[in-house]
């Protein structure tokens, strides 16, 4: 029985590791392909501010914030040089708003908690969708209607981008706790040697979980 439980724990850990790495690889591949397409468009139109802005959008989606800001600033400089202040705006946000948003991303990148369960949700007045500055008591952007992060857990729970990661972490933690409790229950009916094996397996599971949390930051 102890061997079976150890095998079950090992299979669960291996599945989670492979699944996470596969998801990351797919997302990285999509981001790389999009960036390559935007760079190719930039080669065809090297004097186009909108091409630089489009490249900046792809870089920001890939969390390459410093490169995205450089691309946005290049587009803004070209627009100023050409005196074409109405060109190069995608989605109505405007380059100034996008530069402000990506600068916010850069400043918060090292401070943003990895765990959504432990994250303290705070109110944001700058919309991350379009860059519009809203009133401190606004719950939705007055320009595009996107939801703003608020300082209450209940409001944050209404947002899919917050709720889903929380549920994913809770689900994973519940599975680990269930396996540990099952192991402890079965160990109470077994010899001392088997109890030691189950205890060791529990320590290994918790250690791997802790190391993953540290390395993911």
Instruction: State the SS3 of the chain.
Output: CHHHHHHHHHHHHHHHHHHHHHHHHHHHHHHHHHHHHHHHHHHHCCCCHHHHHHHHHHHHHCCCHHHHHHHHHHHHHHHHHHCCCCCCCCCCCCHHHHHHHHHHHHHHHCCCCCCCCCCCCCCCCECCCCCCECCCCCCECCCCCCECCCCCHHHHHCCHHHHHHHHHHHHHHHHHHHHHHHHHHHHCCCCHHHHHHHHHHHHHHHHHHHHHHHHCC
pLDDT in tens, the chain (217 residues): 455 556 666 666 677 677 777 778 888 888 899 999 999 998 898 888 888 989 999 998 888 888 999 998 898 888 877 654 554 444 444 788 888 888 877 776 655 544 444 444 455 667 777 767 777 667 788 888 887 765 555 555 555 555 666 666 777 777 777 776 776 676 677 677 666 776 677 677 666 666 665 555 4
């Amino acid at each position: 029985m102890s061997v079976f439980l150890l095998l079950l724990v090992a299979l669960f850990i291996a599945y989670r590791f492979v699944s996470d790495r596969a998801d990351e690889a797919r997302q990285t591949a999509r981001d790389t392909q999009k960036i390559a397409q935007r760079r190719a468009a930039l080669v065809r139109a090297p004097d186009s501010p909108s091409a630089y802005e489009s490249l900046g959008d792809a870089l920001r989606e890939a969390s390459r914030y410093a490169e995205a800001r450089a691309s946005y600033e290049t587009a803004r400089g070209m627009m100023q040089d050409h005196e074409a202040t109405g060109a190069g705006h995608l989605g109505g946000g405007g380059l100034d708003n996008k530069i402000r948003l990506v600068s916010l991303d850069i400043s918060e990148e090292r401070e943003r908690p990895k765990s959504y369960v432990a994250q303290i949700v705070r109110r944001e007045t700058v919309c991350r969708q379009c860059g519009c500055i809203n009133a401190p008591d606004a719950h939705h952007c007055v320009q595009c209607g996107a939801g703003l992060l608020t300082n209450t857990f209940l409001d944050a729970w209404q947002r899919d981008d917050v709720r889903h990661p929380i549920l994913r972490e809770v689900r994973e933690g519940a599975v680990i706790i269930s396996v540990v409790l099952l192991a402890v229950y079965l160990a109470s009916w077994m010899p001392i040697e088997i109890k030691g094996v189950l205890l060791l397996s529990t320590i290994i599971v918790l250690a791997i979980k802790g190391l993953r949390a540290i390395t993911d930051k």
